[in-house]
Amino acid sequence: MSYIVDFKIVSTVGLGSSPVAEALAGLRANEARYFMNKYKHEFTVVPASESQETLDYVNRILKEERDIEFAAKPLETSRFQVENIKIAYVFYEDGLSINVMYTVDDPKPKRAVGFKLSEGMEIPKELEGKFKFARQKSKLAGTIRGSYFVIKGEY
């Protein structure tokens, strides 16, 4: 069952099993606010158990590009297109959020994987020492730590 993320009233719906559920809910709401403000797009998530295709897509890119496989349990995903950008998200139980942004019909394609860590979570061992994380303040999510890498292959 899908859920439209409300960024005005932050809810932990679907994220209750996370030890950092409140912070992860704030991070998810922060993403929802961004897409509503920039693209007038309602950010909708579905349980990971109902979105194997999205999980496979994100996992394939992580594995093929950087040989990364996360041990954390995926809780929710989101997949959509705004303008010429295909976007996929996975929200994990440990507080990690991954997004894949992939432009289509662009002479200079922009393609990247972004990682965001919820406030209060440790850097996942799969990312330790491989990425530097920048800090960003958010009214909805507290302090978010983020990093990314550019996708080189075609997916």
Task: Using 50 as the pLDDT threshold, list the residues of the chain that sit under it.
Answer: none
Dihedral angle, C-alpha 132, 137, 142, 145, nearest 10 °: -10
**Summary count for the chain: helices (H), strands (E):** 2, 8
Look at residue 107 in the predicted model and tell me its pLDDT. Answer: 81
d(CA 10, CA 3): 13
Domain spans of the chain, in order of start: 3-150
Q: By percentage, how much of the chain surpasses pLDDT 70?
A: 100
> pLDDT of 111-138, one tens digit each?
999 999 999 999 999 999 999 999 999 9
Look at residue 106 in the predicted model and tell me its pLDDT. Answer: 82
Look at residue 52 in the predicted model and tell me its pLDDT. Answer: 98
CA distances in angstroms from 54 to 14, 49, 69, 80, 90, listed in the order given: 17, 10, 15, 10, 8
pTM: 0.96
